[in-house]
Structure 1
Amino acid sequence: MANVTVIGAQWGDEGKGKLVDWLSNRADVVVRFQGGHNAGHTLVVGEQVYKLSLLPSGVVQGKLSVIGNGVVVDPWHLLSEIEKIGGQGIEIGPDLLVLADNACLILPLHRDLDQAREAAALNKIGTTGRGIGPAYEDKVGRRAIRVGDLADREALEVKIDRLLAHHTPLRRGLGLPEYDGEALLSELEALAPRILPFAKPAWLLVNEIVKSGKRVLFEGAQGALLDVDHGTYPYVTSSNTVAGQAAAGSGLGPRGAGFVLGIVKAYTTRVGEGPFPTELFDEVGQHLGTVGKEFGTVTGRSRRCGWFDAALVRQSVALNGITGIALTKLDILDGLPSLKICTGYRLGDQVFTYLPAGLKAQRSLEPIYEEMEGWAETTHGARSFRDLPANAVKYVRRIEELIGAQVALLSTSPQRDDTILMRDPFQD
């Protein structure tokens, strides 16, 4: 049986939550492999709406859910989210949720540093201010506190001293008060009995599950164009968001990723700062934002909207080894008389079929558009490809041609069942 890795193939917010929830019904286990609680997934099941930012989407389906070692975990937020989802009728215990014992923790001092830096910056990145970046910095700097450390007071004392030796000068430079190490130790010791029951060697569990023949769904956060290596640097997130991270962030070998499903919105959006070649500032952009309800799940920030960028998605297909895509929010384009697709870029007398790496070049790109006729009929709620208007079908097929990948799933509303299956990733 195939495993499936789900990643965002644009700048995030492509509708991964619904698709992961839909696929969770076919999976045995769901594994979150990177990011933190700066990313959000909204799941709509009937009249119930679940907003998740750290918990894997499988919890809503009652499927075993794993937070892998590639995730940075704010333990206070995790407990709060468990409580919130519990209030919606889903009880989450260690039998349902596993937390990698080697995952690194986000601490209050990380949040302080994140917010202070962003406030002081002349060229803001547009972070969520939740401490994700500083936590990854400490992970790479080999001074992070990990989940398993909560069981060892002696280790915690040493690690807190090492951590504060780095953070104290930073806080002084930013005008922040020195952090109380004893207070942090007490907070973590009080937290430990509530967090440690979830802690396990997740890499061992995931490998055993795969060997047993069960289906694993690997769930990514953000989007491939926010990848710290391959995205629009420095306007990126702090982790690798591409499909290859599913292996490193879960402890499974690279062959375990299986079918790579790239989630792609039928237009393009972006939250925060950074280049956006096809961004619209006219009534069409306003239409996409309003009808598409383009507001961040975690922050509520308005998303910038623009035409579909096939050059970007084609690049994402290559970077992630995408097997097939899930095209979302096609219904938001209903009623637009004409549509545009970006096929490449001009920069002076040069033509690019990909997004160049230089920030100055990215900001100066002029999109090359191909125009198509829109459709007056509705696609909202369609559950069969033959129910789509002819021009909608042409639009989908043209996207497939331009990005070099076929549509496996087509989403026509936020509702779980309004999904057209054209190719089952678990049966591929």
Structure 2
Amino acid sequence: MDTIPDDLRTWVPRLAAPVAAAVFVLLWTIAEAGRGDLVENVVVFGLFGLAVGLAVWMPWTSIGLTVAIPALQLAGWVQPPTDTTWPTYLAIAFVAFFAAFARSVAVRLVALAAAGLASGLAAIAMAVPTLARPYVWSSWVGGGQGTKTDVITLAASLFGAAAAAWAVGIFLSSVLRVRRIGQVLERTETRFHETDFELRLAHDRARISRDVHDALAHSLAVVVSQAQGALALSATRPEVVEQALRTIADVGRTSLVDVRHLVERIQQDADDATPRETLADLDRLATTMRDVGMTVTLRHLGDAAELLPSQELAVFRIVQESLTNALKHSGSSSTVDVALDWRGPGLALLVTSSGDDPLVASRRGTGRGTGIASMTERARLAGGWLTAELGDDGVFVVTAFLPTPEPIGLLQSWTEQPA
């Protein structure tokens, strides 16, 4: 695994250029020490060193210096090259190498073009004699192939060295960029997995909260209702107490089984292995609430269509929560009508409840309880929607709609028919 810090990769070329410049100036100063015109030569060494040192930090300035130095030598403003100092033109290759690390494509391309121009000017400064400097390349090497040929050869050699250095710089900078991109992608993927885990955890918490609420809220409401009724009638009708205790025991056992199934589902993470309620369980649910004293009517309008198992569970939980809310907010003498209308493109569910003997505070308060939020979320996850509101006449209305799978299958069959 790559363990080099990303910041280190960024700073390596930034630090290498000034270090290379300092070494360049120092070595050439030592090499020319004791020879004539040392001060003038050190000025040239310093200018080339400055160009190399700024190649990464200020590439445009560095490129300009690379071209300006041989031009100044041709103009006679700085010390021209000699038979011992002409290799200083290799600084052109160093500048091209470090400029290749620039992020800007324009800088990299201009650096290569400037290296060609600087190589040509340097070749002229080395090979073309003047009155001020009659000794040039041909006299340094003891012959030569003619001024024109020497200029072309020297320019091609210097530019070839600069182009090779530039290509190496492009390759190394590309490798560093690819590694940096890889690290960024790796960090992004890590953050993505962390975020995905957090979202899954939040989803699981919400699901567990809904399941716990569905498993306990209904049963506890029944238990509270029966206990209050038994307490109120214990003196005048003792036989009611026995029936209430039986109901409490039955509801408690059912709730215990539901909680055990919920715990097993959480531990095993296998929802499909646990039996789920279906529409067939609505009659049992209605009977349980009638035993409490509520008047519950369950009606099916139209021919029932097939729903997905998750949708049937959602319908059961919505009806269960609606009955629980009716018991809590309207009392055990409340009247509830549950209508399942199959005559449309899906299941339209309408639950109305009314009563005036609440077990808890009135639902006219502000905010939406956990039960309504749970019903709304279950309807949404089942592909539908749900609304719940209290009318001016005191009737609480829950309306939900869940689409059936048949229209999707019918549409698919239409698309598969030959034209």
TM-score by length of 1: 0.18
Higher RCO (C-alpha under 8 Å, 6+ residues apart): 1
Q: If each structure's helix is expressed as a fraction of its own residues, which one has the higher value? A: 2
Using the size of structure 2 for normalisation, the TM-score is 0.19
Higher CA-based Rg: 2
Structure showing the higher strand proportion among its residues? 1
